[in-house]
A and B are shown apart, each in its own frame.
Chain A
Amino acid sequence: MDNPVWSFFFRPPQEKMVNIELMKELPVFESLTTGELVQIERVLHERHYGPGEVVFNEGEPGAGLYIIKKGEISIRKKIAGSNDIQLAVIPERSFFGELALLDEIPRSASAIAVTPTILYGFSKPDLEHLLERNQRLGIKIILNLSKLVSRRLVKSNENLEEVQAELNRFKQKEAD
């Protein structure tokens, strides 16, 4: 049942419940009812990746977020004048690429499977169709995404302040 085409037609029903349990743990689907999660589960795209296989490349238009059901994903970024560096390793039962749900901006980093990995893709067109058909559910997801982005913005501002303070201290030391 490794072949994704066969598994689409012959999917055991208990797998659906496992996916819903996994989705309940993710902040992007926070406060969604089981019924609403079933609706989203229906549109998820199951993808299988081998070690070293690229999920998406930096600079390409982003299609949506991915939930890691099994395996690990390395997030890598190209740095001018050197090899690309690893920014993070995303573990099992978490997600990445959520900004692409809000805007089709180019991916800011590449995502590469570290181990044999199973991902569930939730694309921007899927979210848009959900918004057309079930506005309440669509708005809940967008609200959760906004919360994630605002939390990340606060974190980025704190980091920036720390770097600024560090820089000031360094300049002061240089002046002395």
Chain B
Amino acid sequence: MQRGAANQIIRFGFYMLVAMVTVVILYSIKILFFPLVIALLLKFLLQPAVNFLETRGMRRLTALTTLYLIIIIVAGAALCVIIPLLIKEARNFSANLPLYEKMFESALCNIRELILQKFPSATVPDLYAVVHGFFEKKSAHFIESLPRYVSTAASILSIAAIVPVIAFFYLADGHLIQKALLRLAPNRYFEMFVLLSDKVLGAVQAFIRGQLIDALSVGVMTSVGLALIGMPYFLVIGIIAGLGNLIPYLGPVIGFIPAFVVLLVSPLGFSTIGLLKVLVVFVMVQFIEGTFIYPLAVGKSVNLHPLVVIIGVTIGGMLGGIVGMLIIIPIICVVKVTLEVMYSYLKQYSII
């Protein structure tokens, strides 16, 4: 009897310990949520390359290390080219800022005058004063919260350092995580969980990989196209266009807006030919992306109705600002793919 009580105390102590470890793990997951998710995206992107090296006879760990070394070398070389370019663009921008302000002022005055010419009775506020006041407020706010931005930048850097490490372990032992989770499935539903998890993960992985490849291609093509026509800040506009491409239908517009603003404040003055050139670049990029890259990389499996996109982007914007707008559509697509696969399987198992 006494032994039974002692056993109970030991069992209770053990379960308490497990509960504490679980709480600590959950708390760490809360802190590390973003690095964990970004590392998962990186895993999806690198998985085929690791598998390819493995089929060439390499051990998984050797394949992973080789791939990481190649990425470090290539990324290092690319950064050596890109970072000086970005610095040059930033320096140019700050040096030309007074000029841009003047160009912007005259462009807005021209627009105001044009409106007043067409509609003399209309009362049009001084557009430049409105915009200037807005930015002045913003810049004062920016300086006030500069320390916060610095700490945010530091945490972004620490995330950037931790992500490849987590991705490495996902790639090395990802199947063990999946296997451990499948252990929790009841016997009756074990087979269903095996097939369902494989199909859902496969579909989500293919979609995310496709989206990332698609965004990268649009970013590179836009940058190269704009560089070819001699557009300043082609790299920044390319990055914005690539990120914006995650939102269907609105993507091209998001990329075009900064290009248009740069045209507007151009030191040579706004020209229709310049606008036409930029339009040609954007239309060509969209044509190549829509005809060749998207069908190959993402496929037609995740077609969202335009109305769903508009409602989704609005809700995403309300919930999480620009970041929310960017990530809401991939999230909707992932949920859609998951539900589609689950529905077909639960039907086959006569559960619904």
Contact = CB atoms under 8 A, between A and B. Distances in A.
Interface string B17-59: 0000000000000000000000000000000000100110000
B163 to A, nearest CB: 24
A104 B187 contact: no
Contacts of B188: 54
Q: Report, as a range, how many residues of chain B touch the other chain.
A: 20 to 34
Q: Which of B179, B183, B348 has the most CB of A within 10 A?
A: B183
A138 B179 CA distance: 19
A152 interface: no
Interface string B177-202: 00110111001101110110010000
Nearest to A123: B194
Given A61-B348, A121-B190, A133-B54, A45 B175 contact: no
Nearest to A60: B349
Contacts of B336: none
A56 interface: yes
Given A45-B182, A60-B349, A132-B55, A125 B194 contact: yes
A5 B60 contact: no
Nearest to A44: B179
Contacts of A53: 187
B171 to A, nearest CB: 12
Nearest to B349: A60
Interface string B288-332: 000000000000000000000000000000000000000000000
Nearest to B53: A133
A71 B339 CA distance: 38
A135 B345 CA distance: 28
A125 B187 contact: no
Contact of B187 (A43, A49, A60, A64): A49
Given A5-B183, A45-B179, A134 B190 contact: no
Given A4-B183, A47-B187, A121-B190, A104 B175 contact: no
Contacts of A46: 183
Q: Which of B54, B182, B191, B198 has the most CB of A within 10 A?
A: B191
Nearest to A49: B187
Contact of B195 (A8, A55, A125, A129): A125
A50 B289 CA distance: 56
B25 to A, nearest CB: 13
Contacts of B345: 61
Contact of A135 (B55, B183, B190, B348): B55
A141 interface: no
A54 B188 CA distance: 7
Contacts of B349: 60-61
A23 interface: no
Interface string A78-112: 00000000000000000000000000100000000
A133 B60 contact: yes
Interface string A129-167: 100111100000000000000000000000000000000
Given A64-B191, A133-B51, 7 more contacts: A5-B183, A5-B184, A43-B175, A56-B191, A60-B348, A121-B194, A125-B194
9 contacts: A5-B184, A8-B179, A56-B191, A104-B195, A123-B194, A125-B194, A129-B175, A132-B55, A133-B60
Interface of B: 51, 54-55, 60, 175, 179-180, 182-184, 187-188, 190-192, 194-195, 198, 345, 348-349
Interface of A: 4-5, 8, 42-43, 45-49, 53-56, 60-64, 104, 121, 123-125, 129, 132-135
Task: Please give me the 7 A-B residue pairs with the lowest Cβ-Cβ distance, nearest first.
Answer: A125-B198, A63-B191, A133-B54, A63-B194, A123-B194, A132-B51, A63-B195
